[in-house]
Structure 1
Amino acid sequence: MLLRKGLKLGKKIDEIIVGEKLQLNEKIEDKDLLLYLGLTNDNNPLYIQHDYALDTPYKKPIVPAIMLNGIITSAISKHLPGPGSHIREQNIIYLEPVYHYETIELLLEVQHIDFAQNFVEIYVNAFKDKKIQVLNGVIKVVPPY
C-alpha cells in the first residue's frame, strides 16, 4: 500500500522476524538541542548552561534523555517496523550522559513477536565512542496494520 508521496508502510507483524536488527549513528547538534528546548519550553540549566554544568558531576551540558528517546522512536517509525507503527510501551534506562556534539550508535533488535496481541518487543542499546553504553531498554511496538 502506498501513502502520500510514495511513502510505504513499514513491516506488518507477519513480515518481522526475531533477530532482525537495525543500526544507526546519530550526532547530537546544537540545532537539535535548541529545537527541543524551544518546543518544550524546557529551561533546565543542565542542558545548556556551561557555568551551571561545570559545578555538577557532568562538568558540561548534557543531552536531555527525552531527546535520546526521540531518536529511538524515530528509528522505529522510519525503519523497524517502520511507517504506520505505534509504540505501546517502553522501558529505557539511561546509564551514562551524552554530551553535545557526541555521536551515538543505536542498536535495535527484535527479541519477541506476540502475534496474538499484535506487538513486537525490540531491545534497544546505544553506545558512544563505540564502547560506552549510554542506554538500554525494551520497547513494545504495534506494527502497521
Structure 2
Amino acid sequence: MDIGKPRKLGKTIDEIEEGESLSVTESIEDNQLLLYLGLTNDANPLYVQHDYARQTAYERPIVPSIMLMGIVTSAISKHLPGPGSHVVNFSVNFVEPVYHYETLTFDFEVIKVDKMKDVITISVEAVNTENDRVLDAVVMVQPPILIEESEETNE
C-alpha cells in the first residue's frame, strides 16, 4: 500500500440510502492477535494464557473486544461508506465471548441518513459459525467530505 497515493473515496452522504447493507466474514488468526497484543502492549492473560483462561468462566483464551471493534471500523473505512469516512460515535454490546480461530460474519445496515448533521447510522450484528450472536453495535459515521477547492488554488 502506497500511503501517499490518492485513492477513490467512498460514498458521500448524498449517495447513501437507508437499507444499504454489507456482509463481511473474518477469521481470527494468531497473527492478528499477536499484532494487537504487541501494538497495544496488552498483557491480559485472558487473551493468551491457556492455563489462566481454563480457570475462568471462559475456559479458554478469548479475543480482545477492541479487535472486534477494529474489524467493524475497518469494514466501514474500506466499504460502507468507504475510504475517507470517519467514525464519530461507537456503541457496542459484546453479547458472547469470541474465541481464537473463530470465523465471524458481520452484517452492516444503514439505518439512518442525517443530511443535516452529515452523519449516517449503521447497525452491526456479528455471529459465529454456529449462528450465535456475539456482537451488536450502532456506529455513527461521517461519510467522506471534500471541501471544494477555490478558484484561486486552481490557477
Q: Give 1:131 shift.
A: 1.4
Pair 14,133 (structure 1): closer, same or farther in 2 beyond 3 Å: same
Q: Is the CA contact (8 Å cut-off) linking 1:105 and 1:130 kept in structure 2?
A: no
Structure 2 letter corresponding to 1:78: K
In 2: Cα distance, 1:79 partner to 1:6 partner:
17
Tell me the equivalent position of 1:80. 80
Tell me, yes or no, if structure 1 residue 140 matches structure 2 residue 146. Answer: no
Output the aligned Cα RMSD: 1.2
Task: Choose 1 or 2 for highest CA Rg.
Answer: 2
Alignment of 1:26-41 (within 5 A): 26-41=26-41
Q: Give 1:4 shift.
A: 5.5
TM-score normalised by the chain length of structure 2: 0.90
Instruction: Detail structure 1 runs of 4+ shifted over 4 Å in the superposition.
Output: 3-6
Structure 2 letter corresponding to 1:22: L
Q: Is the CA contact (8 Å cut-off) linking 1:22 and 1:109 kept in structure 2?
A: yes
Q: What does the per-residue CA deviation read over 1:82-115, in whole Å, with 9 as the maximum and x for residues that have no partner?
A: 0000000010000000100000000000000000
Consecutive unaligned residues in structure 1, runs of 5 or more: none
Tell me the equivalent position of 1:56. 56
Pair 103,115 (structure 1): closer, same or farther in 2 beyond 3 Å: same
Q: What does the per-residue CA deviation read over 1:101-142, in whole Å, with 9 as the maximum and x for residues that have no partner?
A: 000000000000000000000000000015100010100000
In 2: Cα distance, 1:27 partner to 1:131 partner:
14
Tell me, yes or no, if structure 1 residue 105 matches structure 2 residue 108. Answer: no
In 1: Cα distance, 2:97 partner to 2:30 partner:
16
Tell me the equivalent position of 1:44. 44
Identical residues among aligned pairs (%): 56
1:99 is paired with a residue of what secondary structure? coil
Q: Give 1:7 shift.
A: 2.2
In 1: Cα distance, 2:143 partner to 2:81 partner:
6
Consecutive unaligned residues in structure 2, runs of 5 or more: 146-155
2:56 is paired with a residue of what secondary structure? coil
Tell me the equivalent position of 1:92. 92
Structure 2 letter corresponding to 1:32: Q
In 1: Cα distance, 2:47 partner to 2:108 partner:
26
Q: Give 1:6 shift.
A: 6.0
